[in-house]
């Protein structure tokens, strides 16, 4: 497609999101000194716009405002304009989303539109999406631009004072590590709050829009709450799940999980894959097995590069319309399906009601297969084969359409979430191909993004960049510990140890405990965030604390155990204030107060497999180490093999005598 404008500076970037804006008439800069110096030199405020490649409202605002000559002329004349991909720079996103909340008392989102002073990088006005004309109770973007520029030049002193106050709030005086006695109170409060906000009718929490909330569901799964299996069932049968191809969309715009926001994100699917696999291990529901299979297959088919790593996302829009790739008109369905298939699809997908998405159909399961078979007076196996033929026909037809764009960026943290999901799916279903897929991705990251004992956050088209954030280290460490429970590999253990040491060296808050989001030698930004709360992905502090507890007990490494305990102390004030927002930290707190069993098996691989089965559940950690391996680090060196397969069972720092009888192990593991 020919571009009517010459490219701006974003043409030299590798991020697909920034490249989407490379031909805007806006004189965009990437984040960096050049833009900030220009703003200081020209005495202009900075307009910072943060979004990501698969974001629907980012596309809308780009089309309405950033591609519009008049709007661009205003932006170029009055501001220095910076574009940021929040997936590459989650540090900037965390900082300015927090600042947005302080300025507006409203939660942010994308696109995030922030106006800041270049000298202190502090924002003095912020919003999210602004329309070209005033609507949705929002002012017109051009009016905002004129008003903000005027404010900046006429009320500099007021802005300076407000900025100082904002910076003061964002830089609280460092408290020392709290000496509170860690206890179960926040866990109990979280359970009560989640029970209260649970939607008993449709599953999930609250009303529309409804998000999967994977960290909350994971926390509830550990305490065997019926909320998790009920919610997973509703989501699997809803339109938030792609009923034809597998994989989950971002969230549901309604309370019934029927109509999604159509982007598919790697991080959602990694977490949900892990959850469905765990739920299958816990409840043995065939629906959970099916969703685990279909989602893992979708990941391998659509989201894995030939080299092994996983891609970031698939856009919500295609051909300029949200969801166009996924929805069906009645006439299309009548053309593609034979009479029996159509009769089946109408009942199973609930198409005997009016169309549910802009005069089209988006599929959800309206009634069980058994009821559909009964109503059509056919056998269950006939209904199953009709379902397969409907899916195959429609999927082949869908694949002829123009697909939504795929963001092929490789993000370390998101890959780690998917690696953990795939490993857990492989373990739960006994499917080696999922394990192989995960280990291939793990190996790719180890070889390409671990350089000179530092982790990198992003790989885009071969360009490796940006020093890793807390989430990159914590999630990858967690994925490695999960991998050791699937198959032992001393190299992977030593990689996990290297990551844990780097985490302690580069990210620790030595005064108040816990971990900063950025390493100590990161560029100086408005402030150094230290987030405890789960967002769309779990809290890096929560995952770090849980994983350090497992590694610390496995190796007898007190540095890891101390760091985990200090993280819980650092998170305690927030955990007690907003317990249900801290599912990952609560799980770490549970691990700390009641350590799960660590079972170390030694023996020949084939024999250990049977012992492993006897002892596996979603609460404990089982590591099967071949008897010919020597030179193991820390406490593992003491877990020596015997003539026959044996097990060492520990809980926290307490270990039982070696167990040489599988029946005794089964009894011990219950």
User: Looking at residue 1, what is its pLDDT?
Assistant: 42
Closest CA to 281 of 416, 430, 486, 420: 430
**Does residue 563 sit within a domain?**
yes
Per DSSP, the three-state class of 509 is: coil
Q: Are residues 211 and 136 in the same domain?
A: no
User: Looking at residue 177, what is its pLDDT?
Assistant: 73
Q: Are residues 619 and 652 in the same domain?
A: yes
In terms of residue numbers, what domain contains 156?
9-170
Q: Are residues 654 and 517 in the same domain?
A: no
Is the Cα dihedral 12, 14, 17, 19 positive or negative?
positive
Give pLDDT tens digits for 318-349: 999 999 999 999 999 999 999 999 999 999 99
Q: In whole angstroms, give the CA distance from residue 244 to residue 315.
A: 17
Tokens 């989407």 — which residue? Answer: 20
553's tokens: 């007990």
Backbone dihedral angles phi then psi of residue 241, each to the nearest 5 degrees = -100, 135
Closest CA to 503 of 512, 522, 516, 490: 516
User: Looking at residue 630, what is its pLDDT?
Assistant: 93
Q: Are residues 141 and 208 in the same domain?
A: no
Q: Are residues 496 and 580 in the same domain?
A: yes
**Does residue 230 sit within a domain?**
yes
Q: What whole-number percentage of the chain has pLDDT above 90?
A: 93
DSSP state of 319: T
Structural domain ending residue among the three candidates 381, 400, 419: 400
Q: Are residues 89 and 29 in the same domain?
A: yes
**Does residue 177 sit within a domain?**
no
Domain count of the chain? 4
Q: Are residues 526 and 426 in the same domain?
A: yes
Structural domain ending residue among the three candidates 578, 593, 608: 593
Tokens 């029970």 — which residue? Answer: 195
Report cis status (omega within 30 of 0) of the bond before 111.
yes
**Does residue 134 sit within a domain?**
yes
* CATH classification of the domain holding 19: 3.40.30.10
Query: Across-strand partners of 304?
Result: 310
Q: Are residues 441 and 576 in the same domain?
A: yes
Structural domain ending residue among the three candidates 115, 138, 170: 170
253's tokens: 């715009």
Which stretches in the chain have pLDDT values below 70? 1-4, 173-175, 670
Q: In whole angstroms, give the CA distance from residue 637 to residue 552.
A: 14
Q: Are residues 39 and 93 in the same domain?
A: yes
219-252 burial, b at 16+ Cβ within 10 Å, e below that, comes to: bbbbeebebbbbbbbbbbbbbbbbbbbbbbbbbb
Q: In whole angstroms, give the CA distance from residue 45 to residue 125.
A: 11
**Does residue 176 sit within a domain?**
no
**Does residue 452 sit within a domain?**
yes
Q: Are residues 147 and 30 in the same domain?
A: yes
Q: What angle do CA 567, 573, 578 make, to 5 degrees?
A: 110
Give pLDDT tens digits for 251-299: 999 999 999 999 999 999 999 999 999 999 999 999 999 999 999 999 9
What is the full DSSP assignment across 351-406? TTSS-SBTTBB-----S-HHHHHHHHT--HHHHHHHHHHHHHHHHHHHTTSPPPPE
**Does residue 430 sit within a domain?**
yes
307-316 burial, b at 16+ Cβ within 10 Å, e below that, comes to: ebbbbbbbbb
Q: In whole angstroms, give the CA distance from residue 107 to residue 125.
A: 14
User: Looking at residue 179, what is its pLDDT?
Assistant: 80
Closest CA to 325 of 395, 250, 372, 268: 395
DSSP state of 173: -
Query: Across-strand partners of 465?
Result: 458
Q: Are residues 373 and 421 in the same domain?
A: no
* CATH classification of the domain holding 235: 1.50.10.10
Q: In whole angstroms, give the CA distance from residue 538 to residue 471.
A: 9
**Does residue 208 sit within a domain?**
yes
Q: Are residues 158 and 190 in the same domain?
A: no
């Amino acid at each position: 497609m020919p571009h009517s404008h010459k490219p701006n500076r974003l043409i030299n970037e590798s991020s697909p999101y920034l490249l989407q804006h490379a031909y805007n008439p806006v004189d965009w800069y990437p984040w960096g000194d050049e833009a900030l110096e220009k703003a200081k030199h020209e005495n202009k405020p900075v307009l910072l716009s943060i979004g990501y490649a698969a974001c629907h409202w980012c596309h809308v605002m780009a089309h309405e405002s950033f591609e519009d000559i008049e709007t661009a002329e205003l932006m170029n004349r009055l501001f220095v304009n910076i574009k940021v991909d929040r997936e590459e720079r989650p540090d900037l996103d965390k900082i300015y989303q927090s600042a947005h909340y302080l300025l507006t008392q409203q939660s942010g989102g994308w696109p995030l539109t922030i106006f800041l002073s270049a000298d202190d990088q502090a924002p003095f006005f912020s919003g999210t999406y602004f329309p070209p004309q005033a609507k949705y109770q929002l002012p017109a973007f051009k009016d905002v631009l004129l008003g903000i520029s005027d404010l900046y030049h006429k009320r500099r002193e007021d802005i300076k004072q407000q900025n100082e106050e904002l910076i003061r709030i964002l830089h609280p005086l460092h408290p020392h590590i709290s000496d509170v006695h860690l206890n179960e109170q926040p866990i109990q409060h979280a359970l009560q709050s989640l029970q209260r906000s649970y939607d008993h009718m449709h599953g999930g929490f609250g009303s529309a829009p409804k998000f999967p909330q994977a960290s909350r569901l994971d926390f509830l799964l550990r305490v065997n709450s019926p909320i998790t299996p009920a919610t997973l069932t509703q989501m699997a049968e809803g339109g938030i799940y792609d009923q034809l191809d597998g994989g989950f969309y971002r969230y549901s715009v309604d309370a019934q999980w029927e109509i999604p926001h159509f982007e598919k994100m790697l991080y959602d699917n990694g977490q949900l894959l892990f959850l469905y696999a765990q739920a299958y291990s816990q409840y043995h529901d065939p629906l959970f097995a099916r969703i685990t299979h279909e989602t893992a297959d979708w990941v391998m088919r659509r989201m894995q590069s030939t080299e092994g790593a996983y891609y970031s996302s698939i856009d919500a829009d295609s051909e300029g319309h949200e969801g166009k790739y996924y929805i069906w008109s009645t006439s299309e369905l009548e053309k593609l399906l034979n009479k029996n298939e159509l009769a089946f699809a109408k009942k199973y997908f609930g198409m005997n009601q009016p169309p549910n998405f802009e005069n089209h159909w988006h599929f959800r399961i309206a009634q069980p297969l058994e009821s559909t078979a009964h109503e059509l007076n056919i056998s269950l196996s006939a209904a199953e084969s009709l379902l397969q033929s409907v899916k195959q026909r429609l999927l082949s037809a869908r694949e002829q359409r123009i697909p939504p764009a795929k963001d092929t960026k490789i993000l370390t943290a998101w890959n780690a979430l998917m690696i953990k999901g795939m490993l857990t799916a492989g373990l739960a279903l006994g499917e080696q191909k999922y394990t192989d897929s995960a280990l291939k991705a793990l190996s790719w990251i180890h070889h390409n993004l671990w350089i000179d004992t530092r982790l990198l956050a992003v790989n885009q088209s071969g360009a490796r960049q940006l020093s890793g954030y807390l989430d990159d280290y914590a999630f990858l460490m967690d994925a490695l510990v999960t991998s050791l429970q699937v198959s032992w590999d001393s190299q992977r253990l030593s990689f996990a140890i290297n990551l844990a040491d780097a985490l302690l060296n580069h990210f620790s808050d030595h005064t108040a405990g816990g971990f900063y989001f950025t390493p100590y030698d990161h560029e100086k930004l408005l402030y150094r965030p230290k987030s405890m709360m789960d967002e769309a992905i779990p809290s890096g502090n929560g995952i770090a604390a849980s994983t350090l507890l497992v590694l610390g007990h496995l190796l007898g490494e007190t540095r890891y155990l101390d760091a985990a305990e200090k993280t819980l102390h650092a998170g305690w004030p927030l955990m007690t204030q907003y317990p249900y927002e801290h599912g990952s930290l609560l799980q770490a707190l549970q691990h700390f107060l009641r350590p799960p069993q660590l079972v170390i098996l030694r023996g020949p691989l084939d024999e250990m497999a049977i012992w492993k089965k006897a002892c596996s559940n979603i609460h404990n950690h089982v590591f099967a180490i071949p008897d010919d391996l020597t030179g193991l680090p820390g406490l593992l060196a003491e877990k020596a093999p015997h003539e026959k397969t044996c097990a060492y069972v520990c809980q926290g720092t307490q270990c039982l005598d070696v167990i040489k009888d599988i029946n005794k192990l089964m009894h011990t593991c219950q």
